[in-house]
Structure 1
Amino acid sequence: MPVSPDSSRQPSGTSPRPLLDQAEHIGNPLRYAQAMMVRLPELREVNGAYEDLINTLNFLSSYSGTSATFNSYRREVERLLQWAWLVRSMSLTELRRQDMEDFLAFCQQPPSSWIGDKQTARFRLHQGERVVNPNWRPFVAQHNKRTHSAEFNLSQKSLQAIFSILSTYFNYLQQEDYVEINPVKLIRQRSRYLQKHAYQEPIRRISNLQWDFILETTEQQADTNPREHERSLFVMKILFGMYLRISELVADERGTPVMGDFQQDRDQHWWLKVIGKGNKVRMVTVSDDMLQALKRYRSYLGLTPLPTVGEQTPLINKIKGRGAVTSTRQIRYLVQRCFDAAYERMRSQGMEDEAQELKVATVHWLRHTGISEDVKFRPKEHVKEDAGHASMATTDRYIDTEMRERHASARFKKLKPEY
């Protein structure tokens, strides 16, 4: 296909600017995303672009150890982000099957302003700083020796790679509770391009050892500097112990989580009222340990040990200023600091290998870990209700008893059988 398609298909006369640097130059995903939103002000016009970028960076960090895999995944997700934001002005959370079909059509015939004539780096070093390379383009044309012209043509192999990578990408976003569906999997007529798994994707979680270090480290910090870390300790415990979503802790258009949402029934049992996805209200069981964590946090705040009926004190307050936390970004920073501190402590004690996952863990892993632990001994129907799962099939994904038993039965088989 010629490089110059119908100009009317171009979303604008300007070329997209690169978003995602090499893994070693990204560092902390939250700080990188924040800097990129400043560098590319046009992205701030797209509602949800910042959260899209945060989740994408967390996804890519899982592949940072293998440069070839990282680069191929980065290429495909960056193309999708550029198209969703610049062409459709949509967040990843809004994309549906038809949008993905339109994106595939776009990839097969992108506008000339999106096509380069050679591979170039996204960023380059200038006076000690990483700056955008103006020659970079999301797509690259190949030089045809026979016609002596540059042509862009998306091969079947490349199309298959798009399906495979983006399906994995949306699986991750779905597991992180960031998107509701995987729109790639809904494209049935192109299912031949998708990998078919005869197994269940593992739940991304932290280990019990890692959680012990996170909890101990955060408790030590809270004892030493309560003003900075008592709130962190409470947040970590409520995310793990009640498997809340990060959005369920902050004030937004749905309302403000307050202390009065902790409620006691006639049997003296405590519950937490939560407004979850789809504006659905659920009651989450409060364990005895969680009740003690609540008392400790309220004592630090100078409140009574337990909430009063209708109490309007914000559940998670701002450290500076008054009122409730209103941005999930603040909670992400808080949790990331706890992960980083636990990682450094584990590494200092000679457990760097055991700590590695904390470098790529996200807030949502705490929810996954809490659910995964509870389904080992609680009725799954109870876990389903506390987690706010729409169906039992979602809860069943956390039950790995069958795989545990399967591995145990194979663990001691010999490569050289005994006679």
Structure 2
Amino acid sequence: MNKFNPTPLFPTYVELTEFNLSSYPQLSMFLDKQPIWMKQHWVWARDYLLFIGRNKSEHTYMRFRNDIEKFLLWIFMIDKQPADVLRKPDILRYIDFCVSPPVKWISGRLHDRFLLSNGYFSSNLEWKPFRLTPPKFDKARIVDPKKYKPSLQTLESTFVALSSFYRHLIDEDICFGNPVQLAKRDCKHLIKDSQVKTISRLSELQWQYLLNTAVELANDNSVYERNLFIIATMKTLFLRLAELSEREHWTPLMSHFWEDEDSNWWFKAYGKGKRIRDITVPLGYLPLLKRYREWRGLSPLPSRGEQIVLLEKIRGRGGLTSRHISRLVQQVFDAAYQKMKSEKGVDAAKKLNEAASHYLRHTGASMEIERGRPLKDLSEDLGHSNSSTTDSVYVQVERKKRASSGKNRKVE
């Protein structure tokens, strides 16, 4: 291997928990060629990522794995200095590298890290540490790796992952300081943004097109009842994709809808940080829940202790994965975009073509803010540990007033 041919270092979380290096011949060969201290770095990172996957989530594992993997490959193949001797200038050099990596380290599409064949995991030669992909609405576009430029959010995530990794090394008495925090303070690539913040949401009209399209699809073909239920539930209950999906220690059930002694309905969600929260369920949502349950052949509303999977596979057993749910959401987005484009034009429908599942949570929360719902109540439903998070992410009312007051300024 030379510096222009990086190799993947870590598989999925589940595969890492069952990891046997002998089953990964190319990775084993790569590590065998490295000095002993580099092999030890790989062990440090493996233990750290197992900790993240075990104590956070598989999603957090994947996000941190991407950054730690890049960092180790830079150490192994470019810098060749141990992590425990790196200082602030070294971390800043690494960030410079991330801003402008070698073209051969950049891929134009997502590739699996390892390919299973005859009981062995071979390293995928198509995989690269950095990825530049076309926008969702223009998948046919051919991307030019030379135009790769990480966003501020990507760089922020890199600092978060590296700082977390160093804190772990400090806790394990491997390092005696965290150079990442000092480097972040002086990083020339991080620009403080005090400008107008926007979030990924739909307008009132775009949301109505999406919901109406989901209803029409379900009316025409009952197989789309799941799509309708997912769309309405994610927007109305402000759910993340993972909060509707089956995970290792949690499967959403019908009984997670429950009624208290005052006839208020709630939904129990398992969210970020392995925290369970109860979300208020509005009365206007109940007819959609009843409709979905009727399609499933169930009573109108759930009963306490009902151990029925909320989103059941049509074929097979168990609940739906995040990827499957995402596909069902996308089907409705695509249909709604075509409908709105034909009736209102491309510009009006553009956001539906760009949108992904997380737009539903953001749309629901933004609309609640605009109708004047107390911030603290909404923050509880969203699962934010601090209402200031809700305020900074979703409040756009004042921005709209500011835009309105400035719209009629005169040039002369």
TM-score calculated relative to the size of structure 2: 0.63
SS of aligned partner of 2:186: helix
AA of the residue aligned to 1:353 = D
SS of aligned partner of 1:318: coil
AA of the residue aligned to 2:153 = T
Match of 1:223 in 2: 219
Quote how far apart the aligned CAs of 1:88 are. 6.2
Match of 2:340 among 318, 321, 346: 346
SS of aligned partner of 1:263: strand
- Cα 1:386–1:183 change in 2 (3 A) is farther
Quote how far apart the aligned CAs of 1:266 are. 0.6
Distance 2:398 2:258 in 1: 37
Match of 2:203 among 203, 207, 211: 207
Distance 1:277 1:121 in 2: 30
Match of 1:356 in 2: 350
Taking the TM superposition and a 5 Å limit, the aligned residue runs for 1:15-54 are 15-16=5-6, 45-47=11-13
Quote how far apart the aligned CAs of 1:329 are. 0.5
Question: Would you say the 8 A contact 1:206–1:358 is kept in 2?
Answer: yes
AA of the residue aligned to 2:12 = V
Root-mean-square deviation over aligned CA pairs? 4.0
Distance 2:73 2:106 in 1: 24
- Cα 1:266–1:170 change in 2 (3 A) is farther
Question: Would you say the 8 A contact 1:116–1:135 is kept in 2?
Answer: no
Give aligned pairs, total. Answer: 303
- Cα 1:116–1:203 change in 2 (3 A) is closer
| Alignment deviations for residues 33-69 of structure 1 (CA, whole Å, 9 cap, x no partner) | xxxxxxxxx79933399xxxxxxxxxxxxxxxxxxxx
Match of 1:235 in 2: 230
Question: Would you say the 8 A contact 1:95–1:183 is kept in 2?
Answer: no
Distance 1:118 1:240 in 2: 40
Match of 2:374 in 1: 379
Taking the TM superposition and a 5 Å limit, the aligned residue runs for 1:315-354 are 315-325=310-320, 327-354=321-348
- Cα 1:263–1:118 change in 2 (3 A) is closer
SS of aligned partner of 1:165: coil
- Cα 1:220–1:110 change in 2 (3 A) is farther
- Cα 1:263–1:122 change in 2 (3 A) is closer
Distance 2:362 2:340 in 1: 22
Distance 2:368 2:101 in 1: 52
AA of the residue aligned to 1:15 = N
Distance 1:356 1:205 in 2: 12
Match of 2:153 among 143, 163, 168: 168
Match of 1:253 in 2: 248
Farther off after superposition, 340-349 or 316-325 = 316-325
Match of 1:244 in 2: 239
Taking the TM superposition and a 5 Å limit, the aligned residue runs for 1:391-406 are 391-396=386-391, 397-406=393-402
Quote how far apart the aligned CAs of 1:191 are. 2.7
Match of 1:94 in 2: 64
Match of 2:288 in 1: 293
- Cα 1:357–1:322 change in 2 (3 A) is same
SS of aligned partner of 1:298: helix
Distance 2:102 2:325 in 1: 43
- Cα 1:263–1:119 change in 2 (3 A) is closer
SS of aligned partner of 1:335: helix
| Alignment deviations for residues 96-129 of structure 1 (CA, whole Å, 9 cap, x no partner) | 9988876776796489xxx999989968xxxxxx
| Alignment deviations for residues 227-250 of structure 1 (CA, whole Å, 9 cap, x no partner) | x20011000000000001111111
TM-score calculated relative to the size of structure 1: 0.62
Taking the TM superposition and a 5 Å limit, the aligned residue runs for 1:301-320 are 301-320=296-315
AA of the residue aligned to 1:401 = V
Quote how far apart the aligned CAs of 1:95 are. 5.6
Question: Would you say the 8 A contact 1:256–1:314 is kept in 2?
Answer: yes
SS of aligned partner of 1:252: coil
AA of the residue aligned to 1:46 = T
Identical counterparts, % of pairs: 33
Quote how far apart the aligned CAs of 1:369 are. 0.7
Distance 1:136 1:332 in 2: 24
- Cα 1:292–1:180 change in 2 (3 A) is farther
AA of the residue aligned to 2:154 = Y
Distance 2:69 2:216 in 1: 49
Distance 1:362 1:297 in 2: 23
Distance 1:381 1:362 in 2: 27
1:412 aligns with 2:408: yes
Quote how far apart the aligned CAs of 1:321 are. 3.0
Question: Would you say the 8 A contact 2:9–2:69 is kept in 1?
Answer: no
Distance 2:161 2:101 in 1: 30
Distance 2:71 2:270 in 1: 33
SS of aligned partner of 1:292: helix
Question: Would you say the 8 A contact 1:318–1:324 is kept in 2?
Answer: yes
Distance 1:100 1:224 in 2: 48
Quote how far apart the aligned CAs of 1:348 are. 1.9
| Alignment deviations for residues 3-46 of structure 1 (CA, whole Å, 9 cap, x no partner) | xxxx8xx69xx9248xxxxxxxxxxxxxxxxxxxxxxxx79933
Alignment gaps of 5+ in structure 2: 16-41, 50-60, 82-99, 109-124, 131-146, 164-179
Question: Would you say the 8 A contact 1:250–1:257 is kept in 2?
Answer: yes
